[in-house]
Amino acid sequence: MRILILARKPRLYSHRRLVEAAKKRGHEVRVVNTLRCYMNISSHRPEVRYQGERLDGFDAIIPRIGASVTFYGMAVVRHFEMQGVYSVNESVAIGRSRDKLRSLQLLARKGIGLPVTGFAHSPGDTDDVIRIAGGAPLVIKLLEGTHGRGVILADTYNAAKSVIESFSALDVYFMTQEFIKEAGGADIRAFVIGGKVVASMKRQGKKGEFRSNLHRGGSASPIRITPEERSTAVRAAKTLGLNVAGVDMLRSNHGPVVMEVNSSPGLEGIERATGKDIASMIIEFIEKNARPNRTRTKGTG
């Protein structure tokens, strides 16, 4: 098979591992910079081009689209979908996962456990939005934040009100969420491929840090998740339409709650924590599922 990886930084661990796994299984693989791809938008012969050449003849693409380039990256993925090229995660599913508010609304509609969340536009609704999240302490999140950035724990009502007023003055979108104190600064990353949890790890924030992101100095260790947690992760990925996903959950007193569903989950933390060859599992999934014109949305939606 010929596999194309859309990624801005080919030297990253995740991208190197995918290349290694694909070559080991006898496939031809290429990595191109998503932002250097450009499109010929035509009804009869749509093209994706790269440095003066047409990118064609690929059986599948693996979109590794960073949050900062979601809009352009989705456009590139859509153009491949228009040509009938199989995408591991489709453009519509990537868009759902990147829109934090929309993803929570979709998960809530399916009855999947979530932290109580408030969202408003007018500063006049601040008091009620704080109450919705259960009062202080509560978490305030920017909708555009990644890797734990733009996430604030407000210990008191006055602190929460001050942060919300500041965000409102900057005209940025944010949401309030209940603080799951019993999680103890730890979360669970369940790695889902093709509707199955293939690996899971516990991420623990460093001392005094409520965010467990590895980018912020957190540690990772393998963990055995419960059947309910496994079911929640699978349902969350399926709800957003993702074939490959990292589902982040907290253990709360009322069961697992989903914090985020990542459409381009990193491989380094999960592979090193669990010792599992996740990259090869992704390639194996492609081998079983990549067929011409198998993309459900055909680049629309």
Domain CATH for 271:
3.30.470.20
Question: Is residue 135 located within the same domain as residue 49?
Answer: no
Number of domains in the chain: 3
Question: Is residue 25 located within the same domain as residue 68?
Answer: yes
Q: Does residue 301 lie within any of the structural domains? A: no
What is the tens place of the pLDDT at every residue in 128-165? Answer: 989 999 899 999 988 876 655 788 899 999 999 999 88
Q: Does residue 295 lie within any of the structural domains? A: no
**Comparing C-alpha atoms, which of 287, 280, 240 is closest to residue 263?**
240
Task: Look at residue 43 in the predicted model and tell me its pLDDT.
Answer: 78
Total-model pTM: 0.88
The alpha helices in the chain, defined as continuous H runs, are: 13-24, 70-82, 91-98, 100-109, 126-132, 157-169, 227-240, 268-274, 278-289
Specify the long-range contacts of residues 146-151, CB closer than 8 Å, at least 24 apart.
Answer: 146/67, 146/68, 147/213, 147/215, 147/216, 148/211, 148/213, 148/215, 148/216, 150/174, 151/211
Q: Does residue 102 lie within any of the structural domains? A: no
Q: Structure tokens of 89?
A: 């995660």
Considering only CA atoms, give the Rg of the chain: 20
Domain interval for residue 257: 182-276
Question: Is residue 186 located within the same domain as residue 270?
Answer: yes
In the chain, which stretches have pLDDT less than 70?
145-148, 206-217, 295-301
Q: Does residue 32 lie within any of the structural domains? A: yes
